[in-house]
């Protein structure tokens, strides 16, 4: 009897495993063929654009140029209108009321609208905004733009610099319970709520509206109760150090979902850097079509969609245009005026002493076609004074090692792409420079402005919504 029971148990486990494999295969198969017009429903739309590589939790992300996506999944205080090139209110009822304090700081008071709800149905409160900004800054992920807020509010590059400035320690993990509470209170003193308002005290007079807008994917406002239910930070001062310490050891609560965000879209399938499917919902909660996002690096699906005019809009870089030039030449793609650039590539000089006097090292990020091309052609640039007798030793590195070398200055020269999502007249371009680059690094010359995103719109009226 016991032997029979064990056999049945093993059979059930095997059957369950086979079913899971079959479901995964069918899901993958469907995802791959969603680019086929026969399977694209009339109430669906397709977008060809970069898909986030590091998950969908905005506080762990930089994900530049993903505004088209993150502003659909989450709320922000302000929304940037690219057509009119201006900010507009979203959760904020108006633009900040700015006053200078007696101590020389600046106070930004923002009134919050009571007209918006989270996906959970709970009304958005100023407490959620305070929680979200604190979570972003206390996690202080190197892959987010938290440094902008640290710089403007406290005049430091990040959490570790703030700890060094206020205590005898350098890292959050070294803090005692008492010190971590004291530090938390100092941070919280500059981010307060008052009735229906959120109030920030800042070290610099730089308009927070831009830093809290949809131009900053990392500044999303999240449902604090959903984050807590999914194992995230509860908003309590005594637990923030633990949460900061384990941020890279645990999967973020929103890695593959947007449960703490807007109700209009539900993430139903996410494959990092590849594909994303969203279920659109009406204001009454009914399903209303699927939004299919193919990453522009996936030539097979993208090429098919362009050939058959299945997409609603497309977001291309100049490198993408070259990659697909054979297909674009015969397609109905047209470009709108809605294009912008928020990225520049620079040649920078490090502080690395090369052992071989007849060579100079030039490093670049291996995952960027733009950087690789410039690295190959760098000897053609004659606008800066270099010793022509030396040869270039060109090396491409994967992202993590590339970042480490950039931060330490351990190179002769490097190609660096600096992403800046704001108008330069509103937010200085290199505001967070010291967060990512060693002080001895010299920015020699701007080489290119390659990341110009252009939008084509669907030509098939049957699918145009």
Q: Are residues 78 and 211 in the same domain?
A: yes
Q: Are residues 77 and 210 in the same domain?
A: yes
Q: Are residues 348 and 203 in the same domain?
A: no
pLDDT (tens digit per residue) in 301-337: 777 777 777 777 777 666 666 777 777 666 655 554 4
Residue 35's pLDDT is 37
Residue 387's pLDDT is 56
CATH assignment at residue 444: 3.40.190
Which of 243, 272, 305 is at the close of a domain? Answer: 243
Q: Give the β-pairing of 78-81 and 191-194.
A: unpaired
For residue 251, being part of any structural domain is answered with: no
Which of 243, 268, 293 is at the close of a domain? Answer: 243
287's tokens: 């399903």
For residue 14, being part of any structural domain is answered with: no
CATH assignment at residue 183: 3.90.76.10
Residue 126's pLDDT is 96
Q: Are residues 225 and 76 in the same domain?
A: yes
pTM to 2 decimal places: 0.81
For residue 55, being part of any structural domain is answered with: no
For residue 108, being part of any structural domain is answered with: yes
For residue 299, being part of any structural domain is answered with: no
For residue 190, being part of any structural domain is answered with: yes
Q: Are residues 92 and 220 in the same domain?
A: yes
| Nearest Cα to Cα of residue 287 among 5, 44, 38 | 44
For residue 286, being part of any structural domain is answered with: no
pLDDT (tens digit per residue) in 2-60: 443 344 345 545 545 544 443 343 344 344 434 333 344 556 777 777 788 888 999 98
- DSSP letter at 281? E
Which of 186, 212, 243 is at the close of a domain? Answer: 243
Domain span at 86: 66-229+237-243
CA 465 to chain CA centroid, Å, is 27
Show Cβ contacts of residue 265 under 8 Å, excluding neighbours closer than 6 positions: 72, 73, 258, 278, 279, 280, 281, 291
Q: Give the β-pairing of 413-419 and 359-365.
A: parallel
For residue 292, being part of any structural domain is answered with: no
Residue 131's pLDDT is 96
Which residues of the chain carry a pLDDT beneath 50? 1-9, 12, 15, 18-40, 249, 336-340, 382-383, 451-465
Residue 106's pLDDT is 94
Q: What angle do CA 368, 371, 372 make, to 5 degrees?
A: 85
Q: Are residues 99 and 225 in the same domain?
A: yes
The tally of domains found in the chain comes to: 2
């Amino acid at each position: 009897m016991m032997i029979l029971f064990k056999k049945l148990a093993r059979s059930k486990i095997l059957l369950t495993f086979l079913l899971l494999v079959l479901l995964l295969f069918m899901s993958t198969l469907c995802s791959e063929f969603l680019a086929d017009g026969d399977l694209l429903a009339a109430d669906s739309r397709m977008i060809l654009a970069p898909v986030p590589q590091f998950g969908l939790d905005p506080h762990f992300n930089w994900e530049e140029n993903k505004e088209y996506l993150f502003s659909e999944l989450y709320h922000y205080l302000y929304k940037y209108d690219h057509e009119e090139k201006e900010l507009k209110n979203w959760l904020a009822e108006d633009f900040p009321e700015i006053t200078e304090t007696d101590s020389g700081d600046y106070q930004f008071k923002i009134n919050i609208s009571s007209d918006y709800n989270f996906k959970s149905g709970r009304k958005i409160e100023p407490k959620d905004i305070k929680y979200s900004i604190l979570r972003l800054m206390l996690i202080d992920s190197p892959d987010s733009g938290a440094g902008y807020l640290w710089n403007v509010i406290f005049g430091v590059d990040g959490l570790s610099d703030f700890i060094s400035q206020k205590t005898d320690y350098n890292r959050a993990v070294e803090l005692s319970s008492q010190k971590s509470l004291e530090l938390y209170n100092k941070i919280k003193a500059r981010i307060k709520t008052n009735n229906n308002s959120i109030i920030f005290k800042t070290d610099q007079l730089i308009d927070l509206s831009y830093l809290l807008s949809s131009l900053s994917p990392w500044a999303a406002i999240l449902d604090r109760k959903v984050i807590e239910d999914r194992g995230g930070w509860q908003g309590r001062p005594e637990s923030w150090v633990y949460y900061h310490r384990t941020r890279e050891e645990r999967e973020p609560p929103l890695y593959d979902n947007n449960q703490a965000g807007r109700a209009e879209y539900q993430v139903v399938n996410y494959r990092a850097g590849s594909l994303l499917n969203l279920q659109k919902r009406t204001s009454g909660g009914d399903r209303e079509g699927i939004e299919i996002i193919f990453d522009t690096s996936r030539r097979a699906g993208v090429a098919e969609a362009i050939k058959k005019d299945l997409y609603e809009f497309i977001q291309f870089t100049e490198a993408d245009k070259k990659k697909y030039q054979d297909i674009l030449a015969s397609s109905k793609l047209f470009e709108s005026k809605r294009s912008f650039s928020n990225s520049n590539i620079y040649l920078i000089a490090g502080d690395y002493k090369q052992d071989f006097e007849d060579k100079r090292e030039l490093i670049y990020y291996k995952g960027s076609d733009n950087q690789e091309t410039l690295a190959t052609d760098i000897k053609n640039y004659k606008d800066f004074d270099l010793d022509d007798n030396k040869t270039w030793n060109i090396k491409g590195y994967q992202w993590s090692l590339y970042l480490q070398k950039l931060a330490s200055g351990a190179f002769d020269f490097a190609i660096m792409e600096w992403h800046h999502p704001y108008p330069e007249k509103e937010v200085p371009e290199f505001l967070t420079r010291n967060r990512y680059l060693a002080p001895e690094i010299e920015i020699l010359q701007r080489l290119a402005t390659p990341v110009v995103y252009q939008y084509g719109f669907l030509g098939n009226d049957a699918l145009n919504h």
